Chain A
Amino acid sequence: EAQVTQNPRYLITVTGKKLTVTCSQNMNHEYMSWYRQDPGLGLRQIYYSMNVEVTDKGDVPEGYKVSRKEKRNFPLILESPSPNQTSLYFCASSPRQGNIQYFGAGTRLSVL
């Protein structure tokens, strides 16, 4: 089954404790992206990747890192999480940029 898989689905952590949210897609898509979703706001892009080893900042990149060592994986790294990063995070992939995106089920992160 074609899908985007995020882990974990729920995470509670404390300020400053490094964490990684994994994202994997099995559709051989070139383009992958991370978004955060906050109440009353649209999805806001954090980082994106056009292909392996090609990543760039989105609209709200501060406090986040990403890597794209393999085509299928695009982890999101929070080196020192802060409470303002409490949010719902989505990973998405598409065959190429500007195409329909397929989203994971989301990761609910709470930073205390």
Chain B
Amino acid sequence: GESVGLHLPTLSVQEGDNSIINCAYSNSASDYFIWYKQESGKGPQFIIDIRSNMDKRQGQRVTVLLNKTVKHLSLQIAATQPGDSAVYFCAENINYGQNFVFGPGTRLSVLP
């Protein structure tokens, strides 16, 4: 696999438990946020997004929460499965600008 995650914080959870991955974003003007999942040897894959006019958005087994007051984003994964093992990172954008700022990521390890 790729060595991209050598120095990343790691979250270990038991299979079936819920996972919460956090992201502190940098710019209070950011109004669009995306969570990506990156499995070993693959490119980042879109999971869920949220705009700043929302506090919460739900997908299939995933929920993103946005707290603009403290510039914090979280990704909740329900009933974590072995296939959820990956690096997760957030990206922020301002006003449909061309540039996304990406966080360094968190490695999620699912224990059997």
Contact = CB atoms under 8 A, between A and B. Distances in A.
Interface of A: 4, 31, 33, 35, 37-45, 48, 50, 56, 58-59, 88, 90, 92, 96-106, 108
B43 interface: yes
A105 B41 contact: yes
Given A88-B4, A108-B2, A103 B32 contact: no
A42 B101 contact: yes
B44 A90 contact: yes
Contacts, number: 71
A97 B103 contact: no
Given A39-B4, A40-B6, A105-B41, A97 B98 contact: yes
A50 B91 CA distance: 19
Interface string B47-68: 0010000000000000000000
Contacts of B5: 39
